[in-house]
């Protein structure tokens, strides 16, 4: 089978050849239409062969080259592009920051970050979590995510569990990578398997990995972007024919399900979205609410204050086998610590 790099080279070669051969006014537009058609065809053929990772890579490369293509945007579940922004009604204003994403040639309106569970579940089942995140600039919050009685049982389970283990940058083996400064308690037991299975349905086409967390005073996670590669272990119960043991995986979507009631901002423990350095977003934990974002994206968990109650959550990632794009090709929805540190 053709590798995605070979496909990209072939398509670029086709565009050049078509432009030269046509040699007339409007030749570029015709060549562009042909190139888009090849991207669409390659995407479909990879899907038919069961090579979903290559299909996703080809589609992303097509969008990078032709971000305004209606055909490619439709395949990716993106809204139709718009040429201009007319007034504040086309930009979601949050904390004084206009939430729009910029492509090489135009601005695209973003949908509101927050959505109710009642609205979210029918839509994510008919489309994809990835598409819904792209429409919201890479981050979204789902309120009343599950039936309230389900959330109540999960919280009671975590409050009564004894199998918590301290997780810090000293206790976690990061291999050759430098560990992110963090302190919290982790629970990997089966007590909340029901919630994990429900969370898996957010993105059934991806590989899931979730655990529970308990934050107490002084718990925190320093700024990081969640990017990480790993091998699926033979002991991983989520391995499958699609994702067998030994496969190298890359985190693509992060999810946090909050299970603490009546949390106050002064307690700390909020998720700080640091994607926009000029306008960071402060997301206070809310009971029975899910926050999802595309990876990589720079964020942190604020240090918890003295005297605060424990903060419970279930968190994890959806991953696939497609490597991360080079920094120069990351879209407006992504941000990396490497880019911040090299500026």
The mean per-residue pLDDT over the stretch 176-189 comes to 84
pLDDT band at residue 82, thresholds of 50, 70 and 90? very low
- Report the pLDDT value the prediction gives residue 329, as an integer from 0 to 100: 79
- Report the pLDDT value the prediction gives residue 328, as an integer from 0 to 100: 79
**Using an 8 Å Cβ cutoff, are 31 and 18 in contact?**
yes
Query: What is the percentage of the chain residues whose pLDDT exceeds 90?
Result: 59
How far is the C-alpha of 116 from the C-alpha of 135, rounded, in Å?
Answer: 16
CA distances from 251 to 88, 216, 231, 276, 324 (A): 34, 26, 11, 21, 9
How far is the C-alpha of 121 from the C-alpha of 168, rounded, in Å?
Answer: 34
How far is the C-alpha of 15 from the C-alpha of 38, rounded, in Å?
Answer: 10
Is the pTM higher than 0.85? The answer reads: no
Helix or strand run (H / E) with residue 327: none
| Cβ neighbours, 10 Å, residue 80 | 10
pLDDT at 51 over 80: no
pLDDT at 34 over 60: yes
Bigger pLDDT: 111 vs 177: 111
**Using an 8 Å Cβ cutoff, are 57 and 76 in contact?**
no
Closest Cα partner for 229 from 147, 159, 323? 323
Ranking 22-36, 66-80, 155-169, 260-274 by mean pLDDT, the lowest is 22-36
The mean per-residue pLDDT over the stretch 112-139 comes to 95
How far is the C-alpha of 164 from the C-alpha of 216, rounded, in Å?
Answer: 12
Per-residue pLDDT of 249-308, as tens digits, reads 999 999 999 999 999 999 999 999 999 988 999 999 999 999 999 999 999 999 999 999
The mean per-residue pLDDT over the stretch 74-101 comes to 45
Gyration radius of the chain over CA positions = 22
Q: SS3 for 159?
A: helix
| Residue 269 Rama label (left phi>0; alpha psi -120 to 50; beta) | left
Bigger pLDDT: 66 vs 198: 198
How far is the C-alpha of 56 from the C-alpha of 44, rounded, in Å?
Answer: 10
- Report the pLDDT value the prediction gives residue 101, as an integer from 0 to 100: 40
b (16+ CB within 10 A) / e for 261-280: eebeeebbbbbbbbbeeeee
Ranking 41-45, 216-220, 315-319 by mean pLDDT, the lowest is 41-45
């Amino acid at each position: 089978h053709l590798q995605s790099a070979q496909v990209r080279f072939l398509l670029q070669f086709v565009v050049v050849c078509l432009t030269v051969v046509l040699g007339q006014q409007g030749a570029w537009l015709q060549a562009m239409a042909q190139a888009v058609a090849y991207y669409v065809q390659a995407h479909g053929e990879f899907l038919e062969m069961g090579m979903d990772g290559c299909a996703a890579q080809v589609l992303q490369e097509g969008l990078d080259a032709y971000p305004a293509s209606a055909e490619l945007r439709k395949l990716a579940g993106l809204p139709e592009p718009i040429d201009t922004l007319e007034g504040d009604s086309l930009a979601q204003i949050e904390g004084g920051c206009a939430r729009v994403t910029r492509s090489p040639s135009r601005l695209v309106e973003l949908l509101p970050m927050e959505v109710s569970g009642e609205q979210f579940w029918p839509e994510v089942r008919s489309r994809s979590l990835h598409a819904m995140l792209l429409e919201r600039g890479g981050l979204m919050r789902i309120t009343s995510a599950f039936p309230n009685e389900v959330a109540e049982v999960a919280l009671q389970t975590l409050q009564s569990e004894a199998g918590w283990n301290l997780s810090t940058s000293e206790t976690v083996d990061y291999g050759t990578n430098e560990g992110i400064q963090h302190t919290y308690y982790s629970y990997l037991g089966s007590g909340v398997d029901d919630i994990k299975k429900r969370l898996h349905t957010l993105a059934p086409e991806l590989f899931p990995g979730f655990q529970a967390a308990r934050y107490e005073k002084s718990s925190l996670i320093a700024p990081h972007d969640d990017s990480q590669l790993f091998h699926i272990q033979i002991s991983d119960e989520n391995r499958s024919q699609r994702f067998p043991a030994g496969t190298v995986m890359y985190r693509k979507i992060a999810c946090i399900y909050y299970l603490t009631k009546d949390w106050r901002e002064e307690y700390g423990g909020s998720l700080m979205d640091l994607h926009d350095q000029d306008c960071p977003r402060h997301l206070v934990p809310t009971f029975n609410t899910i926050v999802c974002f595309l990876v990589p994206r720079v964020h942190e968990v604020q240090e918890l204050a003295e005297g605060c109650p424990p903060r419970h959550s279930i968190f994890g990632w959806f991953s696939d086998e497609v490597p991360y794009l080079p920094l120069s090709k990351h879209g407006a929805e992504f941000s990396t610590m490497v880019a911040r540190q090299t500026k």
